[in-house]
Structure 1
Amino acid sequence: MKKNFICNFILSGLLLFSPLSMFAQRVDSNLPWSVRMVESEMIRCPESWQLDFQPKLKWDYCHGLELQSMLDVYDRYGNRKIYDYALAYADTMVNADGTIKMYKREEYSLDRINSGKFIFRIYEQTKDEKYKKALALMRSQLDEHPRNADGGFWHKKIYPNQVWLDGIYMGAPFYAEYAFRNNQVDDYADVINQFLMAARHTYDPKNDVYRHACDVSRKERWADPVTGQSKHSWGRAMGWYAMAFVDALDFIPKHEAGRDSMLVIFNKIASQIKRLQDSKTGLWYQVLDKSGAPGNYLESSCSTMFVYSLFKGVRKGYIDKSYLEVAVKGYKGILDNFIEVDKNGVVSITKACAVAGLGGKVYRSGDYDYYINETIRNNDPKAVGPFILASLEWERLQDVKVIVNRK
């Protein structure tokens, strides 16, 4: 089912009463790409709870990913409507006592933690105590979240002993930011361990990539009986992992033991991204260790995630400046191959894998055919959010060039 249908089936009735009723239904092509994508999403989904193709309220990582990126656009360019759009979701989902609609702490799912990151910003702006309580509630999940013997969080309670690269992004940057904002300095070591642990469990030396996940108990059918690793390196899993580094490092002090090991791993990831980049388009494949194989395809969510991570990594000095060339080529490839603009200027990003996982009730084997046959759709938030973030990095880079050219 297409996002345009889900978000717009109530448009004619809702828009008259929406906070966005005064928001233009056309997007100015002269605006920066980050702003154009934000405005396009707000047109597609006039209520922020409708993001991620949702017909009803949901608390999950995709809303947090998009709304966090939108707040970054608001911080850079202004426009109160963008902030109000993010605030509306927070205000709808967070109750007066700090509990969160549709959030069940006892599920122990790292996916439910990611949306907490944009709540930091909402609390900072509003000073409403309900948001502070909500943040504390999500942080308390990590105190009791099930772990493996080496301290690594399980991806979810229903996936015992499993470490997924996706989960590092879902939990670790929030964990790091909470520690930073609340002066919980003893937590940094645990945050760092999540990154190092995931690298140990998922690194595949034969192909020099990080595989999607590992079952430390080696019991799952998808797990290698010796290593416990899943069968392939999934592009978006690597993308989540890369973004987790550049976002968590913002909050981990430079003197913290183990931070240098994080940088070593992130540099390895950057080298893998460079090596696996498609030479013709500048993009990346759905299944990285089978790049160019029959049936494999260039995928937008991993491509946008890689470009954002490289741009920010160079800007922050985490990786060598030579990676800027890789990022620029990738960003231009995204614009040339994935971005479409309709007659009203509304921007879409195409060819995103809707979802991919391992195990579960409807069992996902994680073999090659599984990954390449999952649903592909347009305007998936897992491509939209990183595209906005990558565009902001590109736009910041253009500012630097303008300053240099004026000297």
Structure 2
Amino acid sequence: MNVRFRRVNQIFLAIMLCLMISSCKNEKKLDNSNAIATNEQFSDSLPWSQRLANSIMKRHPKAWQTENDSLPKWNYKIGLLLTSFERLFEQTGEDKYFDYIQEFGETLIDSSGTIYGYTKDSYNIDNINAGKILFKLYKTTNDQRYLQAMKTLRSQLEDHPRTPSNGLWHKKIYPNQMWLDGLYMGAPFYAQYNTTFEDGDRLDDIAHQFELIWKQTLDEETGLLFHAWDESKQMGWANKKDGKSPNFWSRSMGWYLMALVDVLDFYPENHPKRSVLINYLNQLSESLLAFQHTTGLWYQVTDKGEMEGNYLEASGSEMFCYAFAKGHEKGYLPEKFKSIAHKTFDGLLSEVVEVEADGEVHINNICKSAGLGGNPYRDGSFEYYISEPIVTDNLHGTGPFILAALALNR
């Protein structure tokens, strides 16, 4: 009997402990429900750009931590995020956003201008993207480390391997391949450097990159662009007749559109290639409208929304939103794209944005990563694209959200 009594007593105490823990949890939630009124950095009176940026800074006090790495790294995704922070600083004038960028620059680039972890000989076009933040850092601080780092990245582009048709390889490990992603990674930095420190003599070469991949990835039936092109036609994912990859990936077209609206900042109005690039922006933007979901968003695999496993993906939709908004603001796109961009942003708020009780903001439904080839091998099939992990607050989705919010003044 004593044994049974002790057992019943233990069960009773366990139940009471669980109830107490549950009560504490509920009490904590209740306390947080009022925090939105007192925590000004997440206040719903702030623009969405600042609400998300402040949330990111709370979670990751240093920019290099946003990739959840134990050590700093030079990274295209952090470059994307800090590009959005730079625009945020320019619009708000709040030093904390510039300081966030500067701390990253000082951590990753030593006093001689050497970029920590960067290897030129890998000839990875992704490594160029973060270089865009160096222009503002150099202009503001006059710190020579940033100028030297920019020169290093510019020298990579000078030596970077090219396809027989003079297209920049995506990476040394992917010979004779161009991916839509690579246009965003390399072209805006290339154009800004060439017009800032040189005499603008490479704008034709930059436009050629857009023209070549447009010609080689365009699908005449849909007006969409396939993710990549292998000029050698040797890769398993490449069509043996034309070298095209087999599917449309929304984020890859998002990279291309963002590259267009950003690189056009550096083309004079009288440059003959400017109208060519604006025409590409209009054609692809118009073609994408046929595949926009009623929510305002786009599917991971753009043209296969009806297929099982496909989903409305945040980053590609955000990139389209930003490109439409900036394209309209600059006069490249017709009036209707302003309302389309707003519709997309409304869809982001309803479908992928999550706000905690204290106002902290998260972005859901982000494809973590996608590519072609490599090990394990990525074959570019529909099944491959929907198999990649779907994550929250990945930089592919946070940076473009801030850019879109800023472009729309939301």
C-alpha distance in structure 1 between counterparts of 2:316 and 2:199, whole Å: 32
Superposition deviation, residue 316 in structure 1: 0.4
Superposition deviation, residue 222 in structure 1: 0.4
Equivalent residue letter for 2:334: D
Mapping 1:248-327, distance limit 5 Å: 248-278=263-293, 280-327=294-341
TM-score (norm 2): 0.89
Q: Which of 135, 144, 148 lines up with 1:129 in the alignment?
A: 144
Q: Aligned pair 1:356/2:370, yes or no?
A: yes
Cα deviation digits, residues 85-123 of structure 1 (max 9, x gap): 110000000111111001101100000000000111111
Equivalent residue letter for 2:374: G
Cα deviation digits, residues 172-226 of structure 1 (max 9, x gap): 0110111111133211111111111110111111332100001110000000111
Superposition deviation, residue 324 in structure 1: 1.4
Superposition deviation, residue 255 in structure 1: 1.5
Q: Which of 153, 168, 180 lines up with 2:195 in the alignment?
A: 180
Higher alpha-carbon Rg: 2
Give the corresponding residue for 1:16.
none
C-alpha distance in structure 2 between counterparts of 1:128 and 1:116, whole Å: 15
Give the corresponding residue for 1:337.
351
Superposition deviation, residue 339 in structure 1: 0.6
C-alpha distance in structure 2 between counterparts of 1:52 and 1:25, whole Å: 26
Q: Aligned residues: percent identity?
A: 41
C-alpha distance in structure 2 between counterparts of 1:53 and 1:166, whole Å: 23
Give the corresponding residue for 1:199.
214
C-alpha distance in structure 2 between counterparts of 1:65 and 1:353, whole Å: 15
Equivalent residue letter for 1:240: W
Q: Aligned pair 1:381/2:395, yes or no?
A: yes
C-alpha distance in structure 1 between counterparts of 2:332 and 2:90, whole Å: 23
Superposition deviation, residue 295 in structure 1: 1.3
Q: Aligned pair 1:162/2:177, yes or no?
A: yes
Give the corresponding residue for 1:3.
none
Superposition deviation, residue 142 in structure 1: 0.5
Deviant stretches of 4+, over 2 Å: 52-55
C-alpha distance in structure 1 between counterparts of 2:207 and 2:269, whole Å: 12
Aligned pairs, how many? 372
Superposition deviation, residue 67 in structure 1: 0.7
Q: Aligned pair 1:148/2:173, yes or no?
A: no
Give the corresponding residue for 1:28.
43
TM-score (norm 1): 0.89
Superposition deviation, residue 54 in structure 1: 2.3
Superposition deviation, residue 266 in structure 1: 1.0
Cα deviation digits, residues 203-254 of structure 1 (max 9, x gap): 1113321000011100000001111011101010000000000000001112
Equivalent residue letter for 1:222: W
Q: Aligned pair 1:240/2:255, yes or no?
A: yes
Give the corresponding residue for 1:227.
242
Equivalent residue letter for 1:356: A
Give the corresponding residue for 2:36.
none
SS at 1:74's partner residue?
helix
Superposition deviation, residue 25 in structure 1: 9.2
Structure 2: tracts of 5 or more residues without a match: 1-38
